Structure formats: C-alpha cells, structure tokens
Amino acid sequence: MLSESIRPSIKFLLLENFERMPKPVRMTIIAAVLEAKPTHHVELIKEELRWILDQHDATPGAAH
C-alpha cells in the first residue's frame, strides 16, 4: 500500500475491496498507514481509510 512503485489508482482499487480482506490484513494495512512517513499520498490513503471505516461504522449491524 505504501510502495512508490505501485500506481495510486491500483491502491485505491485495493481499498475498494478493503472490507473483503481478512481482518488481520486490514489491521496491518491500517497500522502501516498510520506509522508511515507523512506525505501527500499517505494522507490521501488515510482519508480514504477514514471514509471506509466511517461507512462501516454507520452500517446497521456492522461487526468490528
């Protein structure tokens, strides 16, 4: 997710399927993004993850 060699559009395609990933993978992605050196690109990924997690929390019956 943080690799410079992967195009941003591919990363966002992966994030579109974030909820389908196993929970340990999701938690690893979140931890890596939170610990990453702040860049414009990382901030965009953080914002997208926030939106995904907010949507999940707003879904009735959503399990954590």
Specify the number of domains making up the chain.
Answer: 1
Lowest mean pLDDT among 4-8, 16-20, 23-27, 47-51: 4-8
Domain assignment present for 54 = yes
Domain assignment present for 2 = no
Domain assignment present for 36 = yes
Domain assignment present for 1 = no
11-45 tens-digit pLDDT: 999 999 999 999 999 999 999 999 999 999 999 99
Tell if the pTM clears 0.85, that is, is over it.
Answer: no
DSSP 1-64: ---TTS-HHHHHHHHHTGGGS-HHHHHHHHHHHHHSPP-HHHHHHHHHHHHHHHHHHHSTT---
Domain assignment present for 63 = no
Please give the residue range of the domain that contains residue 45.
8-58
Domain assignment present for 3 = no
